[in-house]
Structure 1
Amino acid sequence: MIESWRWYGDLDTISLNQILQTGASGIVTALHEIPYGEVWPRDAVAKRTARIRAAGMEWVVCESLPLHEDIKLGSGDLGTLFAHYRQSMANLAAEGVTAICYNFMPLIDWTRTDLAAPVVSGGTCLRFDAVKMAAFELHMLGRAAAEDDYSAAVVTKAAAWHEASSDDDRAALLNAIMCGLPGAYDRYDIEQLRAALARYDGMTRDDIRANFKRFLEEVVPTAEELGVRLCVHPDDPPRDILGLPRVVSGAEDVAWVMGAVDSVANGLTLCSGSLGAGPANDPVAIARTHADRIHFAHLRNVRKEPDGSFEEAAHLEGDTDMVALARVLLDEEAKRQADGRADANIPWRPDHGHDLLDDLTRDNFPGYPLIGRMRGLAEMRGVIAALKAG
């Protein structure tokens, strides 16, 4: 397995040299400065690749080559958007980047209500609090239908939280939720968010799936020609958010995606944290079922609560059996090596670490600290080494 690290380029406070010191050999990055829907020029890809190689590592996964929102909506000049996506894939492949992670989450990528929730042992973590999310939807956004998405107990607590909250509390909650917006780090106020959500009015789960299938039909054949492996990232969290249907949330969804265009080029980013946040999900079983289509892995853990809340746990301390999960990935690698597959070694990265020690003084991207992720990398490195030896 290829130890990797997500890096945000010039936007990142963590340098390539610091990443090299963690022991990671692969870099997971993207050209974040290019607006969604535009072509990634080959010279820009080449420049990023050369910079990473000069630091002693390789660009092993593009995370992500994002989809313009019109593709998810099924509107606008789709022909041009699909053509641009295919050309960007070609430019990445020409420079040796053949694993491409993406997601199909409408409007907002990941969603959390707290960016620095305290951890009992010290440090902070990302958290999704069902009560705060319900308070945001019902009392700040004014989405009355949200009441059906939460238990009566959560709805009651949400009203109490909102009543007791200060302007600063509500501003912090809005900021945390807006951190999940993709693209050039745009942020919405409440009215802007309502307007953005209105574009999805009337769209059903079947509509989103139809638009997803069209995307796959447009780009997977090109991926096959280029030797590219596309790998969809599961919804985070794996549930509908803000009334938006989500379609990569559980085992049935993943099976649908893999079957929508049945090709090894249409694969999965196995995110154990995203899938693990779903009470009905078994990340190990999902990995075992689709092992031959896993092209990238995000290894992290979460600890769930009965009301739908969850928070990031230390890598070996959450609800998912990370040892069993690593075993599935190593077994798959052995099969690929026996079959002579070019993609036998699966890139993985430690995801969403706790902010620990000096992390608390850095201006990190939420969930992407240096020390916290290095702890996760070291813990999973030990698990993998023990499994290989045993």
Structure 2
Amino acid sequence: MKQTWRWFGPDDPVTLAHVRQAGATGVVTALHHLNDGRAWPQDEIDKRKRKIEDAGLDWSVVESIIVHEHVKTRSGDFRALIDNYKTSIRNVARAGVRTVCYNFMAITDWTRTDLDYPMPHGGTALRFDAVEFCVYDVFVLKRAGAEADHPAERMAAARERLKTMSESDLARLERNLIEWVPAREFVYDRQSFGRMLDTYRDVSADGLRENLAEFLQAILPVAEEEGVAMAIHPDDPPFPLFGLPRIVSTQDDLQALLAGTPSPANGVTFCTGSLGANAANDLPAMAEALGPNIHFVHLRNVTREADGSFHEAEHLDGDTDMIVVVAALLREERRRGTQIPMRPDHGHAILDDLGKRVNPGYSAIGRLKGLAELRGVMRTLEKVGY
């Protein structure tokens, strides 16, 4: 597979020189400073491309051109925002970037309660603690109807956990859940987040699916014309949060999306960590079933817990058999005769990255370790004929 690396632009503490030293040949990035629904200007795209190529790399994937909340709810100026999206697709295609990863998660991006969860090896990982999430949802945010969305045993555990949490603990939890989101130039506070939740009050899962289908019907003809592959990222985690609908969480969700708007440009970002947080998802089987529609791959692993919690595991450990998944992806590459871009995702903070300024989940050394392990798996499988 094409080995790529997510880079958050010139302000990323992990530089393009580091990316090249890690052995990646492609970069996955976006114009984060312009990612508010406006059309990306051609000169800004070309400037970013030149910077990447001057470092001896290529811009392989756009992740992401943001889908504005007005588009997801089909409210306000959503038609103008869709027109902006079409322009951005055309402009990145003119720069030679023809894979676009995007998501349709309501309000939140990937969500974790802990950005520095201590691991036995002395490093830290990202973690979603279902009980702590319940504490925030029910007792801090005090979302209407929240209690009904959590099982009785989780509610009981959350009441006990709340007794042990200080004000600083609760502030950290709120910051992690709603104030900090990767690659976004704005943040929510409790009041603005509550207002955003109100905008989804009448949006059901079926309604959100209809809005996604209408968005795709509008943009896919442009993507086809420009030779761009659109690759939707699964919900992370793949179950409802804050009472918001989740519609890209299972194999059935993805197959329905592909069948509902058939197009060679309509495809999937196969994220083994997002999908792997749902125990009902069989990742090797999904890689086989979705193979022809997989345009981009995020390889990472999670360890699930009985109460719905999970944490980011080592890339070759956790609950997903990564070797079997990679073998299925390599078979798909052989079938189509072209490479699929992949990137190691959400590495642990280890060694010299501990204590440094990093984007949580995107430290250099943990991802370097993951990429090296995955590269070894790929080369071994290629050697033995997978």
| Counterpart-to-counterpart distance in 2, 1:265 and 1:65 | 16
For 1:242, the equivalent position in structure 2 comes to 242
Contact 1:107 1:181 in 2 (8 A): no
Question: Any gaps of 5 or more consecutive residues in structure 2?
Answer: none
Deviations 1:289-325 (A, max 9, x none): 1101111000000000010000000001100010011
| Counterpart-to-counterpart distance in 1, 2:368 and 2:24 | 9
Matches within 5 A, 1:251-330: 251-330=251-330
For 1:115, the equivalent position in structure 2 comes to 115
| Counterpart-to-counterpart distance in 2, 1:242 and 1:51 | 39
Contact 1:92 1:98 in 2 (8 A): yes
| Counterpart-to-counterpart distance in 2, 1:314 and 1:182 | 21
For 2:232, the equivalent position in structure 1 comes to 232
| Counterpart-to-counterpart distance in 2, 1:361 and 1:271 | 28
Question: Any gaps of 5 or more consecutive residues in structure 1?
Answer: 338-343
For 1:351, the equivalent position in structure 2 comes to 345
Q: TM-score, normalised by structure 1?
A: 0.96
3-state SS of paired residue (2:191): helix
Q: 2:354 aligns with which of 347, 357, 360?
A: 360
3-state SS of paired residue (2:10): helix
Matches within 5 A, 1:4-83: 4-83=4-83
For 1:189, the equivalent position in structure 2 comes to 189
Contact 1:36 1:183 in 2 (8 A): no
Contact 1:126 1:311 in 2 (8 A): yes
- The number of residues matched between the two structures is 384
3-state SS of paired residue (1:311): strand
Deviations 1:231-284 (A, max 9, x none): 000000001110000110111111111112111200000000000001211122
Whichever residue aligns with residue 346 of structure 2, its letter is H
Contact 2:16 2:52 in 1 (8 A): yes
CA 1:36–1:291: 2 relative to 1, 3 Å? same
For 1:341, the equivalent position in structure 2 comes to none
Contact 2:49 2:59 in 1 (8 A): yes
Contact 1:108 1:182 in 2 (8 A): no
Whichever residue aligns with residue 306 of structure 1, its letter is A
CA 1:8–1:182: 2 relative to 1, 3 Å? closer
| Counterpart-to-counterpart distance in 2, 1:347 and 1:179 | 31
3-state SS of paired residue (1:240): coil
Q: CA deviation at 1:151?
A: 2.3
Q: CA deviation at 1:163?
A: 2.3
Q: Work out the percentage of aligned pairs sharing the same amino acid.
A: 45
Q: CA deviation at 1:184?
A: 3.7
| Counterpart-to-counterpart distance in 2, 1:233 and 1:253 | 12
Could you say what the CA RMSD is over the residues aligned between the two structures, in angstroms? Answer: 1.1
